[in-house]
Amino acid sequence: MKKLLLISTLVIFALLLTSCWPGSIPLVPKTLLIDNTHTSMGGGITRIVQAFQAKGYSVFYSSVVGFNPQEYGAVLISAPEVAYTNTEKSKLSNLLSLGGKIILLSEWYSYYNSAPLNAITLYLGVNISFNNNLLRDNVNNFKSDIGWVTTTKFEAHTLSVGLSKIVLYAASTLNAGANTSIVARAEATSYTAAGISPEFSEASSVESIVQSEGFSSQDVIISVPLVVAARVGSGKVVALGDSDIFSGDGNLPGAYIDQFDNLKLLQNIINW
């Protein structure tokens, strides 16, 4: 009896050590690959690295180890400027099949064109796309900058736990289709300039809001996703319309990531 108890204890301990408890298979390593070969990342990435390391992750850069995301537990892709080849997109698909995580960060148009990111989500079969637009808000903003949009609109999800408000610094909006989860939406007072990606605007023409908030008749009132998550098989995808939301840069009392619950959102993404 004691021998059986000892064996059972050892098996349970081994499962805990390898994280192979039923429901967590397949196992992926606690490693992050930052893709800096398809884009040039600034020093603001430091805080993201620190956040992952604080959770026990080892961090690598594709410019050093090559772009082989299927060998890591997670990959960060931030506003890529170079299109991914089918071989590279296949490696991202393999990462998801192994239970890994892909974090996609976009930027505002015309500073950035989201085509490379949309090509990735299309290839992966994820119903998420990034719009070529710029979100603004005359009411819900940070430091009186209408391009620094804040939101308190969160849906029930693991990624939104503990969040009260986040701020995005000149962000694009997202589209979320079937089998995705909207984590955060824009406030009703947010809008995008008319004439930019109208096919993605999901506009609701609310004349009373336009008049009361002083928006131009050339603006479009929207309430659309800002943070979206999806499960692809045993893998996970997280998409945000801002590459600065977790940045260590910023001429503020504290970095961009330190404002409101931005850091908490990143920690939730790492833990998910």
Q: Which domains does the chain have, with CATH numbers?
A: 28-271 (3.40.50.880)
**pLDDT tens digits, residue range 217-254?**
344 444 589 999 999 999 999 999 999 999 999 878 89
d(CA 82, CA 99): 26
Q: How far is CA 126 from the centre of its chain?
A: 13
Lowest mean pLDDT of 12-16, 20-24, 139-143, 254-258, name the range: 20-24
Mean pLDDT score of the chain: 85
Q: Does the pLDDT value for residue 48 go beyond 80?
A: yes
Mean pLDDT of 151-165: 98
Q: What integer pLDDT is reported at residue 8 of this predicted model?
A: 54
Q: Nearest 10 degrees: CA dihedral of 268, 104, 148, 59?
A: 60
Q: What percent of the chain has a predicted confidence (pLDDT) above 90?
A: 74
Taking alpha carbons only, the member of 260, 265, 190, 266 closest to residue 225 is 190
DSSP assignment string, 26-89: SP--SEEEE--SSS---GGGHHHHHHHHHTT-EEEEHHHH-S-GGGSSEEEEES-SSPPPHHHH
pTM score of the predicted model: 0.83
At residue 27, the pLDDT reads: 82
Taking the alpha carbons at both ends of the chain, their separation in whole angstroms is 39
